[in-house]
C-alpha cells in the first residue's frame, strides 16, 4: 500500500481544528464558529486517504483495502473504545442519570452509525443545558469518518475502473460534493430539523468530498518541489488569505450554529478556504508547511484525536459536579484544560501508540508476561489490572443500561408540572388571542386604575394565598389589568400556572430548551396576528448565551413603544450566567423601555427554592419567582 509524504504542517492544521472545537465548547458565544474545526478534520481525511489510494492504483494498479481497514482499525478503535468504557465506568460510579441509553450510544459508536442515532433520538449538539446532557454528543464525527473509511475504497475502485482519467474522477466527486452542499441549504430553507442537517452524512459529505477532489487534481506526490519565485510568493499570499479567513469565520457571529448563513453557504465557504490551505501546505515550494510546524503544534496535532475524544466528557462530568461555575469561569476552564491534556497524553501513550504496533504475536507475549509469576514488571501488571477494572466496570454499566429507565427531564416532577401548565397555557392563550383579535382595550391611565384597584382590594380580594410572598392586594388587582406577551424557556414554563393566575391577560409562550434565537420568529408570529401586547416579558438565557447585537435586534423588532421586561438568569452551574446578566444590565441603561427583573439576586439567597439542578424553581420557588415578576410589571407596565 503506497504511503503519503508526511507533511508536518498538517499537525498545525489539526491543532487549529481541535483548539477551535474546545474553545467553542468552553465559550460558544465568543467562539461562535469554533465547531468548524470539524470540517478541517474532514478535508484532511478526504485529501490524505484519496491521495494514498490514487497513488497506489497508479503505481501498481491495485489498492490493498484490507491493509487500509486494518490500519484504520488500529488507529481509530482503541482510543474510541477506551473513552467509551472509561466514560461508562465513570457514569455508573458517579453520574447514574446518564445510564439510560448508554448501551445504544456505545453500540452505535462502534458500528459507526451514531450520527443516525442522534438524528432519530433528537440529540442536539448545541443544547448546553439539559438534565442529561450527553458526554458523547461530539462523537458523531467519528461515525461519519468511519462511514467514509468503509465505503471510500469501493468508491475509488469504481471511479478508477469506470472513470479512468483523473479529470473524469474529479468531475464525479465534485458533482456529489456540490450536491451535498446544496442539500444542506435546501433542507435548512425547508425548515428541516437542524439536527438532521448538522449530523447527516449526506449533508456533511461536501467537506470530505472537497478534500478528495483536491487529491485528484493536486496530488501531493506530483507537486514540483521547485517553481518560479513569484509563484511561490503567490502561494504563500493565498495561504495567508485563507488562514485569515478561517480564523475570522471561527470567531464570526454570522457562523453561530443557529444563523442561516452557516447552512446557506457559510460552512461551504469555510470548507473551501480550508481546502485551498490544505493544498498550499502540501506544495513543497510553499513555506506554509514550515510555518505551521513547531513543537507545540506538533504535540497538539499528534494528539488531536485523543484531545477531541476526551474534551467533551471532561467538560460534562466536571461541570456536573461544580455548583458555582458561573462565579469561577476562568479557573474552572483552566482545570478542565489541564484534565483534558492529562487524559489525552495518557491515552496517547497508553492506548494509541502501543495499539498502533499491535500484532497477534505481541498480544500473546504480553499476556504471557502478565500471568508469568516470575515476571517482575509490576508497572505492566498494574496497568493491566487498572485496564481490567475499567473494562469490567464500564461493561457493567453498558450491560445494565437497557434495564434503566431514563430518569430524565421528561419524567421529573418539574416536567409533569410543565406539561400540565403547557396544556392550560395553550387553552388560555387561544382564548386571549381570540379576544384580542376582536377588540383591543384602549390605553388607560394608571392613576385611575390604581384607585379602582385599591377599592377592589378592600371589597373583592383575589389570590389571597400569594400575599404571604410579599405582594399587596392592590398589586394583585392591578396585575389583572395588565396585557402581556411572555416568551420564555423551561424556567418560565414551570411557573406559567402561577403567572397566569396572577396575570390573567398574559399570553405565555414558554418551552423547554428554548434559546433567544427562537424568540424572533415567535414575536413575528404574534405581530403578524396583531396580538403582540404593549408589554413584553422575556425569560431567556438559561440555555445559552447571546450577544448585545441579539438584544439590539430584538429591541428593534419590538420598537420603542412597547415596554420590555427581561428576567435575568440564575444558572450557577453554567459559565454564561454572569455574561448574560451583564448584557441585560447594559441593555437596561441603553434602552428607556427595557426593565430587568432581578431574579438572580433573590434566587442566589434561597437554594431551597430549587430542584437539584439548581436552576428550575420548585412549587415554592415558582411562587416567589412569579410574585417578583408581577411586582415589577405592575410598577412599570403600560396599561
What domain count does the chain have? 2
On whether both 285 and 424 belong to a single domain, the answer is no
Q: What is the pTM of this model?
A: 0.86
Angle at 448 between CA 439 and CA 440, to 5 degrees: 10
On whether both 529 and 570 belong to a single domain, the answer is yes
On whether both 349 and 283 belong to a single domain, the answer is yes
pLDDT computed for residue 381 by the predictor = 72
Question: How far is 5 from 505, CA to CA, in rounded Å?
Answer: 71
Classify residue 580: in a domain, yes or no: yes
Element containing residue 508 per DSSP (H, E): strand 506-510
- Specify whether the CB–CB gap between 602 and 573 falls below 8 A: no
Classify residue 233: in a domain, yes or no: yes
DSSP, collapsed to helix, strand or coil, labels residue 619 as helix
| Last-in-domain residue among 403, 437, 470 | 403
Classify residue 1: in a domain, yes or no: no
Classify residue 2: in a domain, yes or no: no
- Is the pLDDT at 591 greater than 80? The verdict is yes
| pLDDT band, residue 415 (cuts 50/70/90) | low
Neighbours of 232 (CB within 10 A): 16
- Specify whether the CB–CB gap between 144 and 201 falls below 8 A: yes
Q: What is the DSSP letter of 610?
A: B
- Is the pLDDT at 637 greater than 70? The verdict is yes
- Is the pLDDT at 56 greater than 90? The verdict is yes
β-strands 594-597, 506-510 pairing: unpaired
Task: Name the residue with cell 506530483.
Answer: 222
On whether both 384 and 432 belong to a single domain, the answer is no
CATH label of the domain that carries residue 566:
3.40.50.1110
Torsion sign over Cα 110, 135, 120, 75: negative
Question: How far is 290 from 533, CA to CA, in rounded Å?
Answer: 61
On whether both 306 and 455 belong to a single domain, the answer is no
Cell of 603: 434566587
- At 19-46, the pLDDT tens digits run 999 999 999 888 999 999 999 999 999 9
| Last-in-domain residue among 370, 403, 436 | 403
Sorted by sequence, the CB contacts under 8 Å of residue 515 that are 6+ apart come out as 258, 489, 540, 543, 544, 546
Cell of 229: 519565485
| Last-in-domain residue among 403, 422, 445 | 403
pLDDT computed for residue 409 by the predictor = 42
Among residues of the chain, what percentage have pLDDT more than 70?
90
- At 99-156, the pLDDT tens digits run 989 999 999 999 999 999 999 988 888 765 554 578 999 999 999 999 999 999 999 9
Task: Output phi, psi for 543, to 5 deg.
Answer: -95, 0
Q: What is the edge-to-edge ordering of all strands in the sheet holding 506-510?
A: 506-510, 484-488, 535-539, 563-567, 594-597
Beta bridge partners of 594: 564
Q: What is the DSSP letter of 348?
A: I
Question: How far is 620 from 617, CA to CA, in rounded Å?
Answer: 7
Classify residue 3: in a domain, yes or no: no
Least confident of 64-73, 362-371, 505-514: 362-371
Classify residue 4: in a domain, yes or no: no
Residue among 155, 158, 117, 159 at smallest CA distance from 137: 117
On whether both 398 and 434 belong to a single domain, the answer is no
On whether both 347 and 421 belong to a single domain, the answer is no
The domain in which residue 579 lies consists of: 412-636
Angle at 38 between CA 34 and CA 43, to 5 degrees: 130
| pLDDT band, residue 442 (cuts 50/70/90) | low
On whether both 375 and 500 belong to a single domain, the answer is no
Classify residue 383: in a domain, yes or no: yes
On whether both 353 and 502 belong to a single domain, the answer is no
Cell of 92: 455508573
Element containing residue 300 per DSSP (H, E): helix 295-302
- Specify whether the CB–CB gap between 207 and 42 falls below 8 A: yes
On whether both 492 and 607 belong to a single domain, the answer is yes
| pLDDT band, residue 418 (cuts 50/70/90) | low
- At 356-399, the pLDDT tens digits run 777 667 666 666 666 666 666 777 777 888 889 999 999 999 99
Neighbours of 18 (CB within 10 A): 24
Classify residue 162: in a domain, yes or no: yes
Element containing residue 389 per DSSP (H, E): helix 378-400
On whether both 270 and 136 belong to a single domain, the answer is yes
On whether both 276 and 135 belong to a single domain, the answer is yes
pLDDT computed for residue 357 by the predictor = 75
Amino acid at each position: 500500500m503506497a504511503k503519503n509524504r508526511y507533511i508536518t504542517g498538517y499537525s498545525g492544521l489539526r491543532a487549529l481544528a481541535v483548539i477551535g472545537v474546545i474553545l467553542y465548547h468552553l465559550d460558544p458565544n465568543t467562539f461562535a464558529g469554533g465547531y468548524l474545526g470539524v470540517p478541517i478534520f474532514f478535508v484532511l481525511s478526504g485529501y490524505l486517504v484519496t491521495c494514498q489510494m490514487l497513488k497506489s492504483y497508479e503505481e501498481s494498479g491495485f489498492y490493498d483495502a484490507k491493509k487500509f481497514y486494518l490500519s484504520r482499525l488500529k488507529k481509530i478503535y482503541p482510543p474510541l473504545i477506551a473513552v467509551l468504557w472509561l466514560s461508562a465506568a465513570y457514569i455508573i460510579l458517579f453520574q447514574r442519570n446518564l445510564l439510560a441509553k448508554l448501551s445504544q450510544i456505545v453500540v452505535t459508536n462502534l458500528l459507526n452509525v451514531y450520527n443516525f442515532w442522534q438524528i432519530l433520538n433528537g440529540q442536539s449538539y448545541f443544547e448546553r443545558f439539559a438534565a442529561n446532557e450527553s458526554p458523547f454528543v461530539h462523537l458523531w464525527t467519528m461515525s461519519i469518518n468511519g462511514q467514509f473509511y468503509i465505503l471510500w475504497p469501493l468508491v475509488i475502485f469504481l471511479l478508477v475502473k469506470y472513470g479512468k482519467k483523473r479529470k473524469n474522477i474529479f468531475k464525479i466527486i465534485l458533482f456529489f460534493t456540490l450536491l451535498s452542499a446544496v442539500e444542506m441549504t435546501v433542507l435548512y430553507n425547508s425548515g428541516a430539523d437542524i439536527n438532521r442537517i448538522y449530523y447527516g452524512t449526506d449533508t456533511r459529505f461536501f467537506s470530505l468530498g472537497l478534500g478528495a477532489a483536491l487529491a485528484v487534481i493536486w496530488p501531493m506526490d506530483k507537486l514540483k518541489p521547485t517553481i518560479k519565485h513569484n509563484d511561490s510568493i503567490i502561494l504563500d499570499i493565498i495561504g495567508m488569505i485563507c488562514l485569515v479567513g478561517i480564523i475570522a469565520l471561527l470567531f464570526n457571529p454570522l457562523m453561530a450554529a443557529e444563523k442561516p448563513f452557516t447552512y446557506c453557504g457559510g460552512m461551504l465557504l469555510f470548507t473551501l478556504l480550508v481546502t485551498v490551505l490544505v493544498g498550499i501546505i502540501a506544495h513543497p515550494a510553499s513555506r506554509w508547511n514550515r510555518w505551521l510546524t513547531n513543537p507545540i503544534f506538533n504535540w497538539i496535532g499528534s494528539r488531536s484525536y485523543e484531545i477531541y475524544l476526551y474534551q467533551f466528557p471532561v467538560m460534562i462530568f466536571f461541570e456536573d459536579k461544580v455548583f458555582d461555575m458561573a462565579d469561577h469561569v476562568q479557573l474552572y476552564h483552566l482545570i478542565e484544560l489541564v484534565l483534558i491534556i492529562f487524559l489525552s497524553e495518557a491515552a496517547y501513550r497508553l492506548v494509541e501508540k502501543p495499539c498502533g504496533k499491535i500484532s497477534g504475536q505481541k498480544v500473546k507475549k504480553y499476556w504471557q508476561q502478565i500471568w508469568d509469576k516470575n515476571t517482575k514488571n509490576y508497572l505492566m501488571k498494574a496497568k493491566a489490572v487498572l485496564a481490567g477494572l475499567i473494562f469490567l466496570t464500564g461493561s457493567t454499566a453498558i450491560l445494565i443500561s437497557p434495564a434503566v429507565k431514563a430518569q430524565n427531564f421528561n419524567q421529573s416532577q418539574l416536567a409533569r408540572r410543565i406539561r400540565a401548565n403547557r396544556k392550560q397555557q395553550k387553552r388560555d392563550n387561544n382564548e386571549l388571542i381570540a379576544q384580542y383579535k376582536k377588540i383591543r382595550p384602549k390605553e388607560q391611565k394608571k392613576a385611575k386604575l390604581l384607585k379602582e384597584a385599591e377599592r377592589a382590594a378592600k371589597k373583592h380580594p383575589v389570590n389571597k394565598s400569594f400575599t404571604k410572598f410579599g405582594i399587596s392586594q392592590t398589586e394583585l388587582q392591578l396585575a389583572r389589568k395588565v396585557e402581556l406577551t411572555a416568551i420564555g424557556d423551561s424556567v418560565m414554563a414551570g411557573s406559567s400556572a402561577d403567572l397566569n393566575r396572577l396575570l390573567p391577560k398574559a399570553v405565555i409562550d414558554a418551552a423547554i430548551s428554548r434559546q433567544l434565537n427562537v424568540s424572533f420568529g415567535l414575536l413575528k408570529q404574534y405581530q403578524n396576528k396583531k396580538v403582540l401586547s404593549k408589554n413584553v416579558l422575556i425569560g431567556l438565557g438559561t440555555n445559552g448565551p447571546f450577544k448585545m447585537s441579539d438584544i439590539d435586534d430584538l429591541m428593534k423588532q419590538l420598537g420603542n413603544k412597547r415596554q420590555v421586561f427581561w428576567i435575568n438568569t440564575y444558572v450557577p452551574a453554567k459559565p454564561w450566567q454572569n455574561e448574560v446578566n451583564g448584557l441585560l444590565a447594559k441593555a437596561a441603561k441603553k434602552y428607556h423601555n427595557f426593565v430587568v427583573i432581578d431574579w438572580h439576586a433573590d434566587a442566589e439567597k434561597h437554594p431551597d427554592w430549587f430542584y437539584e439542578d439548581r436552576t428550575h424553581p420548585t412549587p415554592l420557588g415558582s411562587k416567589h419567582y412569579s410574585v417578583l415578576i408581577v411586582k415589577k410589571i405592575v410598577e412599570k407596565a403600560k396599561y
